Amino acid sequence: MVLLQISEPGQSPEPHQRRRAVGIDLGTTNSLVATVRSGTPETLLDSEGQHLLPSVVHYSATGEVTVGRRAYDRSADDPLNTLVSVKRFMGRGIEDIKTLGSQLPYDMVASDSGMPNFKTVAGEISPVAASTEILKVLVERAELALDGRLEGAVVTVPAYFDEAQRQATKDAATLAGVKVLRLLSEPTAAAVAYGLDQGGEGVIAVYDLGGGTFDISILRLSHGVFEVLSTGGDSALGGDDFDRALAQWFGQQAGLGDDLNPSVQRQLLMTARSAKESLSTQPQVAVSVAGWTGELKREQLDSLIDPMIDKTLRACRRCLRDAGLKPEDVANVVMVGGSTRTLRVREKVTEAFGREPLVDIDPDRVVAIGAALQADVLVGNKPGDEMLLLDVIPLSLGIETMGGLMEKIIHRNTTIPVAKAQDFTTFKDGQVAMAVHVLQGERELVSDSRSLARFELRGIPPMVAGAAKIRVGFRVDADGLLNVSAKELISGVEAHVEVKPSYGLNDEEVTRMLKESYTHAKGDMQARALREQQVDADRMYVDLQAALEQDGRALLNNEEYHCLEMALVDLERVRNSENHREIARHIEVVSKTSEEFAARRMNASIQKALTGHSLDEIERGM
């Protein structure tokens, strides 16, 4: 007798059949795809034996779309229809692209979604659509290599990508026809690759300098657990900026002005990139561009890019402070991104951390390899308990409270996925609705924070101020996407919003929020204390004014009534001062002055409630 093979629901009837899953590094300059075969992660080759796919898309008037090296070759003679570094535009608004510099050779217009569209001969193209074309090529490469359709992919994003940029990336992958198992931050993916391949425990710093973004993450590795202690970086700084600085220098040497046509701009950039890469192995290189012929030495390149490298190192120091660590506490520094091949970058990182960085795994491929390892777990090819990965949110999340204050509910660097809730109440008597303004940032005031979404909770039963109990819940999923809900606990009325922020985020503003949270910490706390005292003063004024109108003449003599009126006048006058201690002192004065009035009101209320009831009835009610 033989056994009939069956399987658990959702499991393969062939126990040794592996599910097809990949890790995709959607990069600014280059993209690639990796998978795990025979227990070993590897990046997949194209038909020409290349791992890297240039993140370039060309559109023709006939509707033909070209991706990769062939598209890159068109960037000099047809720059307006050749989209390069589109990742830098993901989740941005038309106004934000001005921060990327004046040398962008594109004609861009605002779309209905708020994201900028590229004007091409094929029509208006969004950054999401262009990224979709890149992802389609990677997915096709993977399906050919694995001989079948993919069952899922882990797609990486910079750790500093906010909700809008993450959602745009997820949309592009979905449009490319692949199921997104998870969005994973690029530095964390690199930690997965090094942690699993080489083992070991301790604190590591992941220095990720790609073509368009810089990220620094401090992680602790312990018994197979990857915990991100802190993250930082600059989502508008990368090797592309090195190229621009060098291209500008070439233009100056050639005697060119600032008003260059797109074709010349692209020639300068391509020459700059080639020269930069050559200087990683040579002390000097001959250059001929735009009618100028000369020699570029490594020292000249270093002087041009040092300010940008120093900017990354300042972010590293802030990140270490966040984690409560010093450079000597870091066991290893992992280098990620093609721009870390620049020798000056490695020299300055070695100097900053006091140790040679790890470059054992190709810095261009390490992120994709880590993503592939994670995808292998998530798709079910490996027991999930073999690797536990904890990621964090980059900026605090909260809501607006009275006085224009930002009340943080989930703090920066909290491990995700996470769910947290906090209780709030109403400010005015009879309030039946509550506006919920969702914010992101590190400052204390709404004016210094970034607005994510707004929604209203309606149907709150009318009660006296402070009686209602509204629970606001925040939930961030593994992809860093946010859901917010508000529920009034007595009536059960509820409202919620799925925060898919409108495209149009200024990443420099996000970076600025973090920087200014340090430089303005003292002033912010003083401003918060002032606003809180002003809110307390407003509440006391409204409550006491209403009480006087209702019961003042019945329970107070003329002198007492006038005394309380004068106390309110003084409180209203002081309320607009800039001295929170003075406001607090007047609040205390009004509170003590009104104590007797409050006691009389309470006694009158009790007597009214007891009128007409016998002692037996009262005792039975108790």
- Which residue numbers are catalytic? 25, 87, 186, 208
Mapping DSSP onto H, E and C, the string for 60-125 reads: CCCCCEEECHHHHHCCCCCHHHEEECHHHHCCCCCCHHHHHCCCCCCCEEECCCCCEEEEECCEEE
Q: How far is CA 525 from CA 123, 412, 519, 552, 616, in A?
A: 50, 17, 12, 38, 55
Please give the radius of gyration of the chain, using alpha carbons only, rounded to the nearest integer: 30
In sequence order, what E strands does 402-540 have? 405-410, 415-416, 418-424, 433-440, 450-458, 470-476, 482-488, 494-499
Give residues with Cβ within 8 angstroms of 569, minimum separation 6.
none
Taking a C-beta distance cutoff of 8 angstroms, is the pair 55, 85 a contact? yes
The DSSP code for 445 is B
Of the candidates 499, 463, 471, the one whose C-alpha atom is nearest the C-alpha of residue 487 is: 471
Encoding tokens for residue 232?
């930082």
DSSP string, 2-25: -PPP---TTS-SSTTPPP-EEEEE
Give residues with Cβ within 8 angstroms of 116, minimum separation 6.
89, 92, 93, 94, 97, 108, 109, 110, 127
Q: How far is CA 310 from CA 237, 330, 353, 515, in A?
A: 12, 19, 13, 15
